[in-house]
Chains A and B, each alone.
Chain A
Amino acid sequence: MRTPLYGKHLELGAKLVDFAGWEMPVQYEGIREEHAAVRTHAGMFDVSHMGEVEVEGPGALAFLQRVLSNDVARVEAGGAQYSCLCNEDGGVLDDLFLYRLGGDRYLIVTNSANHGADLAWLGRWSRQLGDVAVRDVADRYAMLAVQGPHARDVVTRTLGIELPLRMRVAAVRIGNRPALACGTGYTGEDGVELLIDPEIVPAIWAELLDAGVVPCGLGARDTLRLEVCFHLHGNDLTPERNPIEAGLGWCCAEETGFVGADAVARARREGTAETLVPFTIEGAGIPRQGNPVLAGGEEAGSVTSGTFSPSLEVGIGMAYVRTDLAEPGTAVEIDVRGKRRPARIASKPLYQPKG
């Protein structure tokens, strides 16, 4: 599959990769330059592969409270909230943002690899609970994430729109079509995510490019999110892991009785055998997904995300480790293809955006 910006990516000479069935740009000029642009100025990502699901009706709140881990009743009109979608065992099916567009109208943004399965899951629960419509509206939106300390200024100036505050959503007009501006992102920097009519998104991309916003690929998206310890579903979150061991207890409100709440409450009460922690390599070596974590020479966990941090210029990652090793400062080793690399468990985030 291709996003409406596929032609723009080719024009810019992007390297394309397959991502969950989508031909997506992994980089244009280079990951380090793109990463630096977002940390110091403004970069833009085509994230049109992500899915959108509209939820509407008098039963919308009750439905969302049932399927999402967070307390949806706390989301005011124009608000945004991060949540897990759990199965009955508390396993994480997806992690996603919920936006309340008005009264009983909500929008969920899903991870592209999970969009189909999420829709099926949400559809099943909506039929069971009633009074709510769940619609796949992925074709209605292209999505641009514009991120960085200057992102808001450039978007405001270039597109002439008022932007919502952080963790808010606003209905706006972009290219004289209805659009949504969201004060959210996946980089740790300030910025916005814009849901735009697919027909006009190439023109908007060109305007932002002319205004000096740096096009960024999935490569930089991954290094940026990992430096600030944002989870990637499929790596750091899976249906076999619950939100507690993933460090996402803060977005679980078990008292709402969401699907999986009992299992999550038990994990919170009794603790978990393993915990997801960020770590930094001390010295040479770049950790990668699947590398074993060693403590006292014995296997004590596994890396779920690993990369070279362009900001810190060192190998970083996240790993599930035995919970007794999860304390920041704990020394471990990462087995990087047979070489034991000393590493230290760190606290979140690994990199503090200067904002």
Chain B
Amino acid sequence: MTLAEPTYPDDLRYHDQHDWARIEGEVAIFGITWYAQDSLGEVVFYDPPEVESTVEKDATYAEVESVKAVSDVIAPLSGEIVEVNEALADAPEKINEDPYGEGWLVKVKLTDPSEAEQLLGAADYVALLG
């Protein structure tokens, strides 16, 4: 089961490689967008990064895999991982079912919150998808 219709919440910031960030001050939660999980198909494996490792904006920090393909996950912002979604180890399908909620991937302490200005709002991201 997945969210049947494309959904792009207004309170998130989007990276054009189909990743989102929910920014709360100097901390942000990252995940992949509805479009990304739909393109990938049913996620069967999520390989999370280590807590305390650093992530760099526009660089790969994790992998999600469906039955048929593996996809790199791109960091929308730079920072240090402070938490990973451990529940995905046993239930990676949450990434399909609830990509903006229970399917979140990592929580990051941002090194430069102003990088967020380079991300897209929901309307601009949707326009990008065409």
Chain A interface residues toward B at CB < 8 A = 15, 26-27, 30-32, 219, 222-223, 284-286, 288, 307-308, 310, 337, 339
Known: A27-B41, A31-B41, A32-B42. A310 touches B47 (CB 8 A): no
Max chain A Cβ within 10 angstroms of own Cβ: one of B45, B66, B70 = B66
Q: Is the CB of A223 within 8 A of B67?
A: yes
Question: Out of B2, B63, B67, which one reaches A31, CB within 8 Å?
Answer: B67
Residues of B within 8 Å of A219, CB to CB, are 41, 67-68
Residue of A nearest to B38 (CB): A15
Question: Out of A284, A307, A337, which one reaches B68, CB within 8 Å?
Answer: A307
Q: Is the CB of B42 within 8 A of A286?
A: no
Q: Is the CB of A308 within 8 A of B45?
A: yes
Asked whether any CB of chain A lies closer than 8 Å to the CB of B108, the reply is no
Residues of B within 8 Å of A26, CB to CB, are 68
Q: How far is the CA of A307 from the CA of B70 in the complex (A)?
A: 10
Residue of B nearest to A26 (CB): B68
Asked whether any CB of chain A lies closer than 8 Å to the CB of B65, the reply is yes
Residues of B within 8 Å of A307, CB to CB, are 67-68
Q: Is the CB of B70 within 8 A of A32?
A: no
> Min CB distance, A79 to chain B, in Å?
35
Residues of A within 8 Å of B23, CB to CB, are none
Question: Out of B41, B42, B45, B68, which one reaches A285, CB within 8 Å?
Answer: B45
Instruction: Identify 7 residue pairs between A and B in the complex whose beta-carbon atoms are under 8 Å apart, listed by A's number.
Output: A31-B67, A32-B44, A285-B45, A288-B70, A307-B67, A308-B45, A308-B66
Q: Is the CB of B63 within 8 A of A310?
A: no
Residues of A within 8 Å of B47, CB to CB, are 284, 339
Q: How far is the CA of A337 from the CA of B65 in the complex (A)?
A: 12
Residues of B within 8 Å of A15, CB to CB, are 41
Residues of A within 8 Å of B66, CB to CB, are 31, 308
Q: Is the CB of A308 within 8 A of B65?
A: yes
Residues of A within 8 Å of B2, CB to CB, are 30
For the complex with contacts A31-B66, A32-B42, 4 further pairs of A-B residues with Cβ separation under 8 Å are A30-B41, A219-B41, A284-B47, A308-B44
Q: Is the CB of A30 within 8 A of B42?
A: yes
> Min CB distance, A305 to chain B, in Å?
12
- Of residues 38 through 95 on chain B, the ones whose CB sits less than 8 Å from some CB of chain A are 41-42, 44-45, 47, 63, 65-68, 70
Q: How far is the CA of A285 from the CA of B65 in the complex (A)?
A: 9
Q: How far is the CA of A307 from the CA of B45 in the complex (A)?
A: 11
Q: How far is the CA of A64 from the CA of B78 in the complex (A)?
A: 64
Q: Is the CB of A31 within 8 A of B42?
A: yes
Residue of B nearest to A336 (CB): B70
Q: Is the CB of A308 within 8 A of B67?
A: yes
Q: How far is the CA of A72 from the CA of B68 in the complex (A)?
A: 37
Known: A31-B68, A337-B63, A337-B70. A286 touches B41 (CB 8 A): no
Q: How far is the CA of A15 from the CA of B45 in the complex (A)?
A: 21
> Min CB distance, A45 to chain B, in Å?
15
The 10 closest A-B pairs by CB, nearest first: A31-B67, A308-B44, A308-B67, A219-B68, A30-B42, A286-B65, A32-B42, A286-B45, A223-B67, A307-B67
Q: How far is the CA of A31 from the CA of B65 in the complex (A)?
A: 13
Residue of A nearest to B44 (CB): A308
Q: How far is the CA of A308 from the CA of B65 in the complex (A)?
A: 9
Q: How far is the CA of A52 from the CA of B17 in the complex (A)?
A: 42
Residues of B within 8 Å of A284, CB to CB, are 45, 47
Residue of B nearest to A32 (CB): B42
Residue of A nearest to B68 (CB): A219
> Min CB distance, A178 to chain B, in Å?
37
> Min CB distance, B95 to chain A, in Å?
13
Residues of B within 8 Å of A337, CB to CB, are 63, 70
Max chain A Cβ within 10 angstroms of own Cβ: one of B45, B63, B67 = B67
Q: How far is the CA of A32 from the CA of B67 in the complex (A)?
A: 8
Residue of B nearest to A284 (CB): B45
Q: How far is the CA of A310 from the CA of B65 in the complex (A)?
A: 13
Residues of B within 8 Å of A30, CB to CB, are 2, 41-42
Residues of B within 8 Å of A32, CB to CB, are 42, 44, 67
Q: How far is the CA of A15 from the CA of B37 in the complex (A)?
A: 13
Q: Is the CB of B67 within 8 A of A310?
A: yes
Q: How far is the CA of A284 from the CA of B42 in the complex (A)?
A: 17
> Min CB distance, B116 to chain A, in Å?
30
